[in-house]
Structure 1
Amino acid sequence: MKRLISMVLLLAAYILFSSHELFLKTDSYFISPKTSSELYLYNGTFDKSENNITRDRIQDSRIIGPDFEKFMKEKDYYDKEKSTYLKFKAGSAGTYVAGVLTLPKMIEMDAKAFNDYLEHEGLEDTILKRKQDGSFTHGAREKYSKHVKLLLQVGDKKTEEFKAEFGFPVEFIPVNNPYEASAGDTISFKLLSNGKPLPNHIVHYSTSMPEKDAHENESSTRTDENGVMTMTPTQSGNWYVATIHMVKSQEKGVDYESNWATLTFGVK
């Protein structure tokens, strides 16, 4: 029986590892005004989706642009292979931002699986705290939810909508418009937790490269005292910033609560 439970926990950990991040993407981050496009959710890695997102998990989904705000409804979604797609028609020229928030799920792992997962995701602060408080040898029940955003440039006109706050538990807000930057320029993002800057927090960023998973090429940095991180896209292409904010939970039956955030954008 113990062996069966251990196998189940390890299987859960494997599923979490192989489907660890959620990204909101599109084929082209640069489109013309008044044209139709598709956004899609990749649940897995930046380069491969492992499974669809069921509609009952999506709590908030919207797109904001100049004189444009659309709340996505169930009819706007459809599944294709292992990705979830959103139908979208742009309005006038400007910088658009889209976001999707998912409802929490629970997962339980034994100590080794949980610690391996923390190491895999670069959650070194949580590992240190577990060692300090004596919980490193204990399993854990974690409640996690994912919050994803995408920046889209419609036409040539750059507008201020890129700064829109969605009120997600954790989210990235660009400090400067990424579409005013090119490869080699620095771009800054403010990381918010419940609307407040999250200082000294680890953030990862990367882009796809031929025959390589973007996760293999990730770089990491920390936000400063104002919750701001800065990265330099080294090449044109589709980029992301990502983080996980994990804290001890006060909820009965839950050891940790984590909020995952990603933001994707294009670089010319």
Structure 2
Amino acid sequence: MNTDQVQKELASYIGKLLRDNFGRGPETVFVSINQPFICVYLRKFLSPMEKVLISDNHESFIQTSRDILMKNLIPEINAYMTVLTGLTMEEFYYDWNLHNQSGMFVAISNNRANIEQPSELNYPGKDELHQEIIQVSQQAQKVPQEVLSYKLNERTIIVIRNGIFITIERELIRMGQLEVLRTAKRRVEKRLLHNSMRLESIFDAKIDDSFVSWDFDRDRSVILFIVNPKQNGRNGLD
């Protein structure tokens, strides 16, 4: 199968898998494959029960229950991705924007030589984006040891931060308090990203969605931005 066919097949599989396990699947599933990354963007993914819980300010309960389900689903998703692409998935990240009814998965394969189109290693605003990410990271914990980013397509930018955890966070990881740490970091880092006044100007586009996820063992984080290039970020559009 060519890349378009693989993307369609994977989108169909993930939609059905989530519907079978969550009781309701996303309305749309967008898959972008650009080695070594497989990016999945979910829209209109919120069950009626979850809508009730959000209205009663029980978002943490939704996050926790989804985390439990994802622990069982990630190996299955990775295995299916390997069957379709022939690549071994080494890392998997996910996050939800409950109020946007959206979500993301990012899988990273063991094929790390480069991404499919090296021209995407450099794109307008890359240096400014890295500077802003460093500032946001410093407010949340510390300056990352390394920041990398890739523009996977016109709407999708992925940022990878290495070496981000401070001493107290590493101790919580050793103590096994991953859920507490994940919950706290979700709130702090996503709030800082949302409040950033520079990001849309840097992208010269409206940010439709932003997501953050962490690999606590690797001391690594993935940030995913979904932008709308048809809406100029400097116009302050909603």
TM-score normalised over the length of structure 2: 0.31
Q: Which has the higher contact order (CA 8 A, sep 6+)?
A: 1
More strand, by proportion:
1
| TM-score normalised by L of structure 1 | 0.28
Larger % of helix: which? 2
